[in-house]
Amino acid sequence: MDSFLRPFMWLVGSSFEFFFQQTQNPGFSILLLSLLVTSALLPVQGLIAWVKRKNQNKKMALKPVEDEIERAYKGHTRYLYLKTLYRQHGYGSWNNFISLSLPLLQIPFFIAAYHYLSTQAVFEGASFLILNDLSKPDALLPFGGTNLNLLPFVMCLINLMNVELQTLEKNSEKVAL
């Protein structure tokens, strides 16, 4: 696993060091590193969207024949006819998993960033925006005599909003088709 992550850790480390030399601010350097990784993966995201649209169009073109097969046949016979139909038209059910490839590409960057950034002493005592010390949990939310970390809740909320937007986008695409 270490040899697999080594190139990612080198990329994260050299990018962070470059950004830190330019800004002298570890928090801003992390933001720039995040933007770099996101922008580097944008072409991959575009390619994945293109492949998904292409497969979706294939699936929609096969829909009438698929519906006819589903009405006419049951059980294993239906399965064999559908499998043959998909094979003849170059459509595989594995195509539905293409959307997993972007998160699978992002995960090594996240792991490498975690391993690299967690060992950096530059975060000790460094403040950024509302955070007093980047090396410690934020503890921004007072709750029952203790302080909870606010940033994980913010991150969760942002992810939930992203999922909701993607769901709305998928539903609008279905309505348009």
What are the backbone dihedrals phi and psi of residue 90, each rounded to the nearest 5 degrees, phi first? 70, 30
Q: What is the pLDDT of residue 163?
A: 84
Q: What is the pLDDT of residue 88?
A: 86
Asked whether the beta carbons of 35 and 96 are under 8 A apart, the reply is no
* End-to-end Cα distance, the chain: 44
48-76 pLDDT, tens digit each: 888 888 888 888 888 899 899 889 889 99
Q: What is the three-class DSSP state of 147?
A: strand
pLDDT of 171 strictly over 80: no
79-124 pLDDT, tens digit each: 998 888 888 888 776 766 777 777 788 888 889 998 888 888 898 8
22 band by pLDDT with thresholds 50, 70 and 90:
very high
Question: What average pLDDT is seen over the chain?
Answer: 85
pLDDT of 135 strictly over 80: yes
172 band by pLDDT with thresholds 50, 70 and 90:
low
Quote the tokens at residue 81.
């006819």
Q: What is the three-class DSSP state of 177?
A: coil
Asked whether the beta carbons of 61 and 28 are under 8 A apart, the reply is no
CB-hemisphere CA count at 13 Å for 29?
Answer: 23
pLDDT of 144 strictly over 90: no
**Helix intervals (H) in the chain:** 2-23, 26-72, 75-88, 101-117, 150-176
Amino acid at 153: F
pLDDT of 1 strictly over 70: no
pLDDT of 176 strictly over 60: no
What are the backbone dihedrals phi and psi of residue 139, each rounded to the nearest 5 degrees, phi first? 50, 45
